[in-house]
Amino acid sequence: MVSPGVTFLVHLAIHSGSKVAFVAAGVYYGSQRFLPYNLLGTGAAILISCATLAVYTLARNQIQCWHQEREAAAIGARLAPRVIGKWPGNLDIMRDVMAMRTTGYPGDAYLGLIAKYGPVFNTRVLWIDHIFTFIYLPSCLSANIKDMKYLRAVINEAMRLYPAVPTNLRHSICPATLSSPDFTQKPIYVPAGTTILYSVFLMQRQTDLWGPDADTFDPDRFLDGRLKQYLLANPFQFLPFGAGPRVCLGQQFAYNQMSLMLVRLMQSFAKFELAEDAFPFEARPPVNWKTASGRKAIERFRPEVHITMSTKGGMWVRATEAQNETVD
């Protein structure tokens, strides 16, 4: 007769597919079956199982580590650095992402930025993108949207500082290498079965990738010399929609949707202001942010992350309706 404990462990093993649980089930069953039961009670059997589990896991990890180091060396690469306490091979960035999370930052806030930079934004969009030329048209065509270079730059800049998907990950099915950011270094070997978390949020604020003013909201960086200097030199540093075979399928749709929404808002309202007093108290930036570095010190709303980024408490703005103004 198989005891309920064994049945449970076997079920666990089957459902989790874990070799470790199989070993525990084996040891537990073996201890009950072959050792004198009255001498070695269930408690001792469980202790032995736990000890076996710990030894098995340590040995397995060590052997895996040697194996992966040999594989990496064989192809002239170095093993991806590990995050303390994580196995195996996650890139160091994960630690930074976790650090970011504990400080409680990120978020998206297109309207907030527009509110903050409203007057400049309005004038630039109206004059540069000629929205006023079809102000009375009932619809805004996708062809028009494509021509709105400054509007696109504003959206891109908002998605750079506040990517809606702030972190993403890839899981390696087979071993692979990543070229080292420092070309004098060996490539990085990524063993099969490694999860690599990367932070779009942090990458899109790096001063080495975007220039010393990386923390500043400045749509012109997508239009002037900085475009060539930074982004075109390395297009993969801007990943609000991801890239490669799994790039967002709705990217163009999303651009159209965001543009159309903004155009309609610009057409209907003359002015937007951030309504800081309307934010729920807990959604306001904490006082100690004022002395922090980076954008935190200047942030007037509180971004938050639940897989995607949003604004804590919602984005509160006051909009002044446009009068029937004409543009000469």
Provide Rg for the chain, Cα atoms: 27
269-274 and 303-306: which strand pairing? unpaired
Backbone angles phi, psi at 124, to 5 degrees: -60, -45
176-178 and 188-190: which strand pairing? antiparallel
Q: Which residue has the tokens 């899981």?
A: 171
CB within 8 Å of 272: residues ≥ 6 apart: 111, 114, 115, 118, 265, 317, 318, 319, 320
Within 146-165, the residues that bind ligand HEM by CB under 6 A are 164-165
Q: How far is the CB of 46 from ligand HEM (least distance, A)?
A: 43
- Give the integer Cα–Cα distance in Å for 262 and 219: 15
Report if residue 201 touches ligand HEM, rule: CB under 6 A: no
Q: How far is the CB of 249 from ligand HEM (least distance, A)?
A: 4
195-199 and 188-190: which strand pairing? unpaired
Cβ proximity to ligand HEM, 223 vs 254, nearer residue: 254
Report if residue 131 touches ligand HEM, rule: CB under 6 A: no
248 annotated among ligand-binding-site residues: yes
Site string for ligand HEM, 162-181 (x = CB under 6 A): --xx--x-------------
Backbone angles phi, psi at 17, to 5 degrees: 65, 20
Cβ proximity to ligand HEM, 74 vs 307, nearer residue: 307
Nearest residue to ligand HEM, scored by beta-carbon proximity = 250
DSSP 189: E
Q: How far is the CB of 155 from ligand HEM (least distance, A)?
A: 9
Within 227-256, the residues that bind ligand HEM by CB under 6 A are 240-242, 246-250, 253-254
Q: How far is the CB of 246 from ligand HEM (least distance, A)?
A: 4
Residues that bind ligand HEM in the complex, under the rule CB under 6 A: 164-165, 168, 240-242, 246-250, 253-254
Residue list, annotated binding site for heme = 248
